Amino acid sequence: MTPPQQTSGQPLLPPTPAQTVGPFYGYALPFPGGPEAVPPGRPDAITVHGVVYDGSGAPIPDALLEFWQADPDGTRSGAPGSLRRDPVTGGFLGRHPHVFTGFTRVATDADGGYAVHTLAPPSSAPYLAVAVFARGLLHHLYTRAYLPVDGAADDALLGRLAPERRATLLAVPGPDRTYRFDVRLQGENETVFLEHA
């Protein structure tokens, strides 16, 4: 594969390489309200939760997940304010309750678990895009958590995967508008990870 070329024929700039997030991002990247795209009590909120596992089946207590999704109305423009700040104290105010930024960030806990609260994505793009970072992972990984959204058309990516591989991208409904989405970095039932071209 040759590197992509601009239409003008000028070669593209070489990118800056990725490096692992390492073990000590915990006081820098997570922020108050990071896992809550909407207030938890909101009746139409959903919870997506799960565990991140390594290749031995052990939970990973130092992974960081980010989720990006379309607005329930289908738009993908996002909005500022995920880290809305207090100009007086410099602290975090929490998101504006009526602004949907489409972005959540959550660090796994000591058991490898995580949960985010958000709104169901639209049928035009019925998934949360996921970026996975961890100590030991030199370059982050992308995957998708597909939700069972009414009216969603057949999805090209899901359609071409073998059933057991496809299953790794499907968030499993539970009680009270919860959906379970585990991430397995390696081995049995390894999550399908994506390369965007």
Partner 1 sequence: MGDPTQELISKEIAEARDGYAAARAGGAPEGHHPDRGYLPYRSSALRHPHNPLERVADPDAVELSGPVFGVTDVTDWDADLTAQHVGEPLGERITVTGQVLDRAGRPVRGQLVEIWQANASGRYAHQRDRHPAPLDPNFTGAGRCLTDDEGRYTFTTVKPGAYPWRNHVNAWRPAHIHFSLFGAAFTQRLVTQMYFPGDPLFAYDPILQSVTDDAARQRLVAAYDHDLSVPEFSLGYRWDIVLDGPTATWIEEGRA
Site map 81..100 versus partner 1, x via CB under 8 A: xxxxx-x--x----------
Q: Does 78 bind partner 1 (CB under 8 A)?
A: yes
Closer to partner 1 at the Cβ: 42 or 140? 140
Q: How far apart are the first and last CA of the chain?
A: 12
Cα dihedral 24, 30, 31, 34, rounded to 10, equals -170
Q: Which of residues 114-173 bind partner 1 (CB under 8 A)?
A: 121, 124-125, 127, 129, 131, 133-142, 156-157, 161, 165
- Residue 103: which of Fe ion, partner 1, none does it interact with, CB under 5 to 8 A by kind? partner 1
Radius of gyration of the chain (CA): 18
CB of 56 to Fe ion, least distance (A): 25
- Residue 45: which of partner 1, Fe ion, none does it interact with, CB under 5 to 8 A by kind? none
Measure the CA–CA gap between 75 and 121, rounded to whole angstroms: 10
Position 43: which residue type?
A: P
Q: Does 190 bind partner 1 (CB under 8 A)?
A: yes
Measure the CA–CA gap between 181 and 129, rounded to whole angstroms: 12
